[in-house]
Structure 1
Amino acid sequence: MDEATLRLRLGSVIRAHREALDVSQDRFADVIEMHRAYYGSIERGSRNLTIATLSRVAAGLRVRPSQLLQEAGA
């Protein structure tokens, strides 16, 4: 799988988990102390995530980073 496809899939998985928590994008970004525009770019798959950022997002979603990657097909 190429990098762009992985980013898109990972963003989609992250969005699905956030929506399952019934939390808006803006509210979730506030909770994990991330700028809403930056967080939005993660969900759109236009941002390369560091391990630290992926961990921060995963903690907010109450899942392991490895679960998000597995669901994205990485």
Structure 2
Amino acid sequence: MQDETFASHIGSAIRARRTELGLSQERFADAILMHRAYYSSIERGEKNITLATLLRLADGLGVTPSSLLATAGY
């Protein structure tokens, strides 16, 4: 975990939850009104998301932001 960034940890947690729900990236991104390419970059850990984006993602995934952070190890 030392070499990985917050962005990659939270991206993995988001991907895991989306996969649990059986949603494709495209379907989920459409559901939360986010461009699929941008959403994909979040999952890959290429974007440092804002608190507002974290809230939006958590809401779309049906979880709390704190549960996503806990899953990511924070």
- TM-score, normalisation: structure 2: 0.92
Aligned residue in 2 for 1:42: 42
| Equivalent residue runs for 1:44-63 within 5 Å | 44-63=44-63
Gaps of 5+ in 1: none
Q: Deviations over 1:11-67 (max 9, x none)?
A: 011000000000100000000000000000100000011010000000010000111
Q: After TM superposition, where is structure 1 displaced by more than 3 Å over at least 4 residues in a row? A: none
- TM-score, normalisation: structure 1: 0.92
User: What SS is found at the alignment partner of 1:34?
Assistant: coil
The letter for the 2-side match of 1:68 is L
Aligned residue in 2 for 1:65: 65
Alpha-carbon offset, residue 70 of structure 1 = 1.2
Q: Following the alignment from structure 1 to structure 2, what is the Cα–Cα distance between the partners of residues 34 and 16?
A: 18
Matched, 1:16 2:46: no
Which of the pair is proportionally richer in helix? 1
Gaps of 5+ in 2: none
Sequence identity (%):
59
